[in-house]
Amino acid sequence: MALGDLRTRIESKQALLAVIGLGYVGLPVACEFARVGFDVLGVEQNAERVTRINTGDLPFNGVEPGLLELLLQVRSSGKFHATSSYAELNDRDIVLICVETPIDSEKIPQYHALRSTLSAMGPVLKPGSLVVVESTLSPGTITELVLPLLESSSGLKANLGFFLGICPERVMPGRLLSNLRNLSRVVGGLTPDTAETMRTLYRHITNAQLDATDCITAELVKTVENAYRDVQIAFANEVAWICEAVGGNVWQVRELVNKSPGRQMLYPGAGVGGHCTPKDPWLLAHSVKDRDVPVRLIPAARKVNDTMPAHLAWLVEDSLRRQGLDISEARILILGYAYLEDSDDPRNSPSETVREHLVMKGASVIIHDPYVPGYQGSIEELASGCDALVVAVKHSIYQTIDLAVIHSRMRTPILVDGRGFIDAERAAGAGFIYIGLGRGFSGSV
Ligand code: SAJ
């Protein structure tokens, strides 16, 4: 099918769509296209996840406004169903690829999921179809890996047998649907015509700007926007360390700095987790690994952010020591395990690293999280006999916990706030010794 015919079928929503990978990115986008009237096939390797989706059960918890209702709606309308069989792709005019693209311990991109997807879909790819990668890729990956692999597995030639582009996602757990509908997107096509056809497609579900570009630009924009955020967070974290040393309060400093025009200092914290921000800077750096390009700021920012969990553990140890307690005899409750407030997504959880450091120091550590299975329960009960409460995630419910009750249950009333989330006066009023990340001891209450 020529691109023009495909665009006509897209405009009339007759084009048959497939989404490969039904995770935080793929499932919402599949449901959204089904909601507006496309016939959507979801292809997911995890059979248990396929079953849960086909029985109207979201395969993840967390607060995702509207997603469950949407899934039920598109299932009952018959516009969306999931499968683990690639064979069903053979009639699809459009295939969106939403699989994970992690990095390994050496910060090298791991494209196993992408490679196996491209190898499996090639033989059944419908000639004339449009393939769009939504996963985040190291700049250059579309032309250096995706294109040749898809040509060899399908036996088709790019821009003749299939059309190829990349449209990086800008979703965020807790705002999956709203980000999808309301955030602009970069639409990178192997050719300008392909980019325009992709715009025609995404216009159906996105009411924000769709910026047509080439593939390398789209790959760069996605990895740069997250590397930029990581550097911003690292700056805030470094200022927090300085404030602690000189007796400042970073939360107050940040507020006043941001009154200066053109400043937008982000928040220091217990660490940078998730599937995007810790990884994408390395995908960006990887694009020039074999070239004489001095990439220094991006790795340095990663290092700053990666030391925050250890720093929080040190704050806990130091606050215990100041009360004459040895951390090796302490019982510590960490509040929050998900990487982000009001989400159940535990990927690259900074709390896990905090726990590891505390355990290495000999402490016994328990964790509470209202959304992550295995960590739910009564905070009051978990706090019994503890010597320190560590706020690692800004889950909304932690704003309303009864500090007086928790205080009465604890052996030593130390509260270490890793997110500037608990009101220091309120904590002190409940009898806590409040230690805040980024607040020098003379700044502590
Ligand atoms: N964090 C801080 N300080 C901050 C902001 C975040 O320590 O000021 C920490 C968070 O606690 C978390 C990690 O960084 O552990 C990542 O937080 P995030 O707000 O960057 O959330 P992500 O990783 O879901 O980021 C996504 C990104 N969006 C996409 O990749 C599509 C990011 O570019 C967006 O800016 C962010 O969502 C958003 O705010 O929407």
pLDDT tens-digit profile of 406-424? 999 999 999 999 999 999 9
- Contact yes or no for 270/392 (Cβ under 8 A): yes
Q: Single out the residue in 216, 251, 277 at which a domain terminates.
A: 216
Angle, vertex CA 8, rays to CA 43 and CA 213, nearest 5: 75
* CATH code at position 141: 3.40.50.720
Evaluate: CB of 340 within 6 angstroms of ligand 1: yes
pLDDT digits (tens, 9 = 90+) for 311-365: 999 999 999 999 999 999 999 999 999 999 998 889 999 999 999 999 999 999 9
Evaluate: CB of 88 within 6 angstroms of ligand 1: no
> How many domains is the chain partitioned into structurally?
2
Asked about 222 being catalytic, the answer comes back as yes
Chain mean pLDDT for the chain: 95
Active-site residue, selected from the candidate residues 126, 222, 361, 394: 222
In a domain, 258, yes or no: no
What SS3 state is found at 121? helix
pTM: 0.93
Q: Single out the residue in 170, 193, 216 at which a domain terminates.
A: 216
In a domain, 399, yes or no: yes
Q: Single out the residue in 175, 200, 216 at which a domain terminates.
A: 216
pLDDT category, 175, cuts 50, 70, 90? confident
Mean pLDDT of 51-75: 89
pLDDT digits (tens, 9 = 90+) for 85-122: 999 999 999 999 999 999 999 999 999 999 999 999 99
Going from the C-alpha of 400 to that of each of 94, 393, 397, 416, 426, the distances in angstroms are 47, 14, 6, 17, 11
In a domain, 295, yes or no: no
Predicted local confidence at residue 343, as pLDDT:
87
* φ, ψ dihedrals at 359, nearest 5°: -65, -40
Evaluate: CB of 269 within 6 angstroms of ligand 1: yes
Q: How many CA atoms lie within 13 A of 434 on its CB side?
A: 22
Ranges of beta strands (E only) in 202-354 are 210-214, 331-335
Q: Do 117 and 8 fall within a single domain?
A: yes
In a domain, 296, yes or no: no
In a domain, 256, yes or no: no
In a domain, 178, yes or no: yes
- Contact yes or no for 304/360 (Cβ under 8 A): no
In a domain, 24, yes or no: yes
pLDDT digits (tens, 9 = 90+) for 117-166: 999 999 999 999 999 999 999 999 999 999 999 999 999 999 999 999 99
Which atom of ligand 1 lies nearest, measured to the CA of 173? 24
pLDDT digits (tens, 9 = 90+) for 226-265: 999 999 999 999 999 999 999 999 999 999 999 999 999 9
Token pair recorded at residue 249:
């309060």
Mean pLDDT of 70-80: 96
Q: Do 93 and 202 fall within a single domain?
A: yes
Token pair recorded at residue 381:
């009960």
Query: Whole domain around residue 111: which residue ranges?
Result: 3-216
In a domain, 292, yes or no: no
